[in-house]
């Protein structure tokens, strides 16, 4: 049951904050929200129902709902996200050197479709600034798991891209509970080409080597949990736009290389989806129109890999039902971004409440029992 506080948060967002935020350009509203989250007093976070706990990659997650990459690119509000109820947060995408991203405007809202279109192009303060911020977050105040999404600088030549990822892995392995190699942003020219089986194999084996070669001392700082594995799991973030059997070929490479999991999916760059939205802008589509494509991608990956490649499912999740359907399609954890803009800060607690109800109605003891049952 929602508490009085939950209802008030929803009401204040819908009646007061959303109409105000809607008057501002999307990036200004985003910067304001991040500042507010950073300044929030340290409220006590509610404990999550035990059914929502997930154990994955040798780690415990207090619940399966995470913040997707891109919302907090520079690690500005980690404890704020924790207070909103997330079980994990994926920071970034961080690039090695600072970069401004594409010229503005580069984010558009499509409210009647509950969608966003963006072509941000990885604006990032760069790995040195983000690492400094991560050092200052005290592990003892943190119960959420932290993932860090890694991406190359825009001006890095294609044949040097592995060097960027290696530098990022070396910088962030000690801070992250998991690392994500982002190969699927549609807004960095040439990046998605590295998702094809042969190019993914060459690039990822170099990145995995860099991770394996790190001395134990480089990874020790991250453990606020002695049971954690000594090196963070390495995941790959994939697109929802695949032709023929290419997705299956790439999954085979990921399994053969020993990649720990995938994040599925990033935004869609399919022109037909943009056309369906009546949108003449070029960029990546997120939110409700992406939901079924993402779910189908999750299902294909789960089916093809027989569940051996854990999936973080993301794309269009806006309710407990959506999260449950992504889990049943094969995701072990779920993330969201766009729905948070439209629904406000009460969304995470609402999704967890709805998800708990659905699990109990189906007679399951744990959210993990639902993974892949519809695949
Ligand atoms: C404005 C914006 C910026 C994003 N930036 C990133 C990013 O830097 N790295 C990344 O891996 N995904 C990024 N994403 C994609 C999201 O992480 C997510 O995969 C996608 O939006 C689908 O989820 P959603 O429908 O819940 O928004 C971004 C999405 C949006 C809307």
Closest residue CA from atom 6 of ligand 1: 70
Ligand 1 neighbours, Cβ below 6 Å, are 68-70, 73, 93, 107, 116, 118, 120, 122, 149, 182, 185, 237, 266-267, 286-287, 290, 314-317, 336-339
Could you list the residue range(s) of the whole structural domain that residue 10 is in?
A: 4-42+52-370
CATH number, residue 98? 3.20.20.70
Mutate-to-test residue for ligand 1 from 266, 274, 285, 295, highest number of ligand atoms within 8 A of CB: 266
State the catalytic residues.
185
- Section 182-209 average pLDDT: 95
Least confident residue range of 104-118, 137-151, 186-200, 342-356: 137-151
Whether residue 113 lies inside any domain: the answer is yes
Separation of 116 CA from ligand 1 center, angstroms? Answer: 9
**For residues 37 and 89, which has the higher predicted lDDT (pLDDT)?**
89
Whether residue 124 lies inside any domain: the answer is yes
Number of domains in the chain: 1
- Section 190-204 average pLDDT: 95
Whether residue 15 lies inside any domain: the answer is yes
- At 47 the three-state DSSP class reads coil
DSSP code, position 99 = B
**pLDDT, tens only, 343-355:** 999 999 999 999 9
pLDDT confidence band for 219 (50 / 70 / 90): low
The pair of structure tokens assigned to 201 is 């194999």
- In order of 165, 221, 281, 289, 312, the CA distances from 175 in angstroms are 15, 7, 37, 34, 20
Separation of 272 CA from ligand 1 center, angstroms? Answer: 19
Whether residue 268 lies inside any domain: the answer is yes
Whether residue 47 lies inside any domain: the answer is no
Task: Tell how strand 178-182 and strand 234-238 pair up.
Answer: parallel
Separation of 267 CA from ligand 1 center, angstroms? Answer: 6
Separation of 259 CA from ligand 1 center, angstroms? Answer: 21
**pLDDT, tens only, 311-325:** 999 999 999 999 999
**pLDDT, tens only, 248-290:** 999 999 999 999 999 999 999 999 999 999 888 899 999 999 9
Whether residue 375 lies inside any domain: the answer is no
Tell me what pLDDT residue 226 has. Answer: 47
Helices (H), the chain: 4-12, 18-23, 26-39, 78-84, 127-135, 161-172, 197-212, 216-219, 246-257, 271-276, 291-305, 320-329, 338-343, 347-361
Whether residue 282 lies inside any domain: the answer is yes
């Amino acid at each position: 049951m929602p508490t009085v506080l939950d209802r008030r948060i929803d009401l204040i967002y819908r009646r007061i904050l959303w109409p105000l935020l809607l008057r501002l350009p999307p990036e200004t509203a985003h910067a304001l929200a991040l500042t507010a989250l950073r300044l929030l007093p340290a409220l006590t976070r509610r404990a999550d129902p035990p059914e929502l706990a997930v154990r994955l990659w040798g780690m415990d997650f207090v619940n399966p709902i995470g913040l997707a990459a891109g919302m907090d690119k520079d690690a500005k509000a980690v404890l704020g996200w924790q207070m909103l109820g997330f079980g994990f947060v994926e920071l970034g995408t961080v690039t090695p050197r600072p970069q401004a991203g594409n010229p503005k405007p580069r984010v558009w809202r499509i409210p009647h479709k509950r969608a966003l279109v963006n072509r941000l192009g990885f604006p990032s303060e760069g790995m040195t600034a983000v690492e400094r911020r991560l050092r200052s977050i005290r592990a003892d105040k943190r119960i959420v798991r932290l993932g860090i999404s890694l991406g190359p600088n825009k001006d890095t030549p294609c044949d040097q891209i592995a060097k960027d990822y290696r530098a990022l892995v070396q910088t962030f392995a000690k801070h992250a509970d998991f690392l994500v190699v982002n190969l699927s942003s549609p807004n960095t020219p040439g990046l998605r080409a590295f998702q094809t089986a042969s190019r993914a194999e060459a690039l990822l084996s170099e990145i995995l080597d860099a991770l394996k070669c790190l001395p134990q001392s480089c990874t020790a700082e991250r453990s606020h949990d002695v049971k954690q594995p000594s090196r963070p799991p390495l995941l790959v973030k994939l697109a929802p736009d695949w032709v023929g059997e290419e997705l299956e070929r790439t999954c085979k490479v990921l399994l053969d290389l020993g990649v720990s999991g995938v994040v599925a999916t990033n935004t869609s760059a399919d022109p037909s989806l943009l056309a369906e939205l009546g949108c003449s802008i070029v960029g990546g589509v997120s939110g409700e129109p992406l939901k079924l494509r993402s779910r189908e991608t999750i299902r294909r990956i789960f089916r093809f890999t027989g569940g051996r490649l854990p999936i973080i499912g993301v794309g269009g999740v806006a309710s407990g039902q959506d999260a449950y359907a992504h889990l049943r399609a094969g995701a072990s954890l779920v993330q969201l971004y766009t729905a948070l803009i439209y629904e406000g800060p009460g969304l995470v607690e609402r999704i967890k409440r709805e998800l708990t109800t659905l699990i109990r109605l189906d007679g399951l003891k744990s959210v993990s029992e639902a993974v892949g049952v519809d695949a």
